[in-house]
Amino acid sequence: MSTDSYVFQSVINKKPPHVLGGKGVRMTIEKDGVVYDDIVDGVTGAAVGALGWGDEDVLKIINDAAKNSSYTYPSLIGNQASEDLAKFYIDHSPKGAFASALWCCSGSESNENALKIIRQYWLERGKPKKTKFISRETSYHGFTLGALSISSNGRAELFKEVLIDQENTCLKMPVCFPYRFQKEGQTTEEYVQELMDALEKIILDADPATVASVTIETLPGSTMGTPPPPPGYLPGIRRLCDKYDILMHLDEVMCGTGRANPNGRLNCWENFLEPGQFPDIQTVGKTLGSGYVTIAGILVGPKIKDAYVKGSGQIIGSHTYASHGFNCAVALGIQKKIMENGLTKNMFEKGNLMGEKLKEALLLGKDCENNIVGDVRGIGGFWSIEFVKNKKTKEPFAKKLDVGHKMQDFCFKNKINVMGMQGSCSYKTGEGDFILLAPSFIITEEDVDEIVKRTVQAVKDCTEWLKEEGAL
């Protein structure tokens, strides 16, 4: 079989590992001409899978959707499936949080649309000077130019010359990352207040009358690896947005739609915001279609919808496959099955169990002082493990060692699929290595034990390799 590739992605002109099939939480992968069975899918692509692979009920959901779907351009003729999916998400969120939704095809597209919705909102309000978007350092909101413009990472750096103005329009506030940036002796309350003071200064320096929104990943993923926001952080941002008439935009493309909800529902922010606090606009994706269809979305709060209704009553622009009837019908069927089977509750419980067992094995267990794990962090079904050269000083490995991706390789050799990344310490230098774990919602306690067992062995293998390389 040829190793040449006709697909213009990843490593050019070389095929990446190919999936041959999957069932439940396990996959069969072909890599370099060798077939590997019983690969535990510990990250479901990019935190996409909810129902796992080869779900037989999904085949019926897809067939029924195909039989009842006829394509229409959404600006001219709509479809009931998109309406039903929007109502489902609204009904499974805290009352009063959302009033409307737009469906699209990717998380990048959802964040791109959110920027446009936010901009038009201020035009509808008669405040055209509100053109500045504040987001965080070390963040990722997608790979389109607009989404990259509110991001801050190595991928965005490559395109900085063609991004939206980073000095005057897309402003950056400090990242919230206690493991790396909470000072020794500093209390959580003091650290949170430091971040609130920094954000308020940015707002005041920019002139609140010109600031449109503040964008935050509720639980960041691919840039620094799932540090949960400390108590008071998201509520503090909500209060600052209210104080200065600014929209709060939460990006839950990776962490949302049931991956990390404490109440058996959908939104990750229900872990962190105070009762009665909601985002004004929220972007979602990934587990919405569980990898069976390409779908993401933008959830709009009542304040935004009301401004449009009282204003022009129209949305500027549209996309060919926005609110696509087939995609929405499949996503709705998948979400209904997830809810009916209590799988968001299962994900939260089994995910937290996985996190605790990883902490016990890698941070508290026998010989843990001899491994390279600096931190295990996350919540629900979204976790990461950060690797350091020195546990006490948190010194990262040299970037050239590429420990994050080496760990990904060692995990694969131990038959577990994870996502290896770099850049948690600095998006500019690329230092800081970690892996992401985001399994399917269907995992059992036995699956958790297998994930932990294989990951721990991979850490041992990587630690030994680093010793052999003279890096430890």
Q: What is the pLDDT of residues 199-229, one digit of tens each?
A: 999 999 999 999 999 999 999 999 999 999 9
| Residue 318 in this model has a pLDDT that exceeds 90 | no
At 317 the pLDDT is 80
Is residue 304 predicted with pLDDT exceeding 70? yes
Query: Mind listing the pLDDT tens digit for each residue in 403-431?
Result: 999 999 999 999 999 999 999 998 778 89
Q: What is the pLDDT of residue 427?
A: 79
Distances from the Cα of 161 to the Cα of 112, 135, 254, 329, 426, angstroms? 19, 18, 27, 40, 20
CA 190 → CA 181, 193, 233, distances in Å? 12, 5, 11
Place of tokens 């909101």: 141
462 has a pLDDT exceeding 80: yes
Question: What value does the mean pLDDT take over residues 297-321?
Answer: 95
Tokens linked to 406: 């080496």
DSSP run (H or E) holding 248: strand 247-252
Least confident of 4-18, 79-93, 266-280, 397-411: 4-18
Distance in angstroms (rounded) separating the CA atoms of residues 81 and 324: 8
Residue 111 has a pLDDT of 98
Q: How far apart are CA 22 and CA 30, in angstroms?
A: 12
Residue 242 has pLDDT above 90, yes or no: yes
Which of the four pLDDT bands, split at 50, 70 and 90, describes residue 110? very high
pLDDT in tens, 54-105: 999 999 999 999 999 999 999 899 999 999 999 999 999 999 999 999 999 9
% of the chain beyond a pLDDT of 70 = 100
Burial zone of 165 (CB within 10 Å; 0-12 exposed, 13-18 middle, 19+ buried): exposed
Q: Across residues 230-247, what is the average pLDDT?
A: 98
* pTM recorded for the entire structure: 0.97
pLDDT over threshold 70, residue 1: no
Q: For residues 244 and 203, is the Cβ–Cβ distance under 8 A?
A: yes
What is the token pair recorded at 192?
A: 């949170």
Which of the residue ranges 195-204, 317-326, 372-381 would you say has the lowest mean pLDDT? 317-326
Q: By percentage, how much of the chain surpasses pLDDT 90?
A: 92
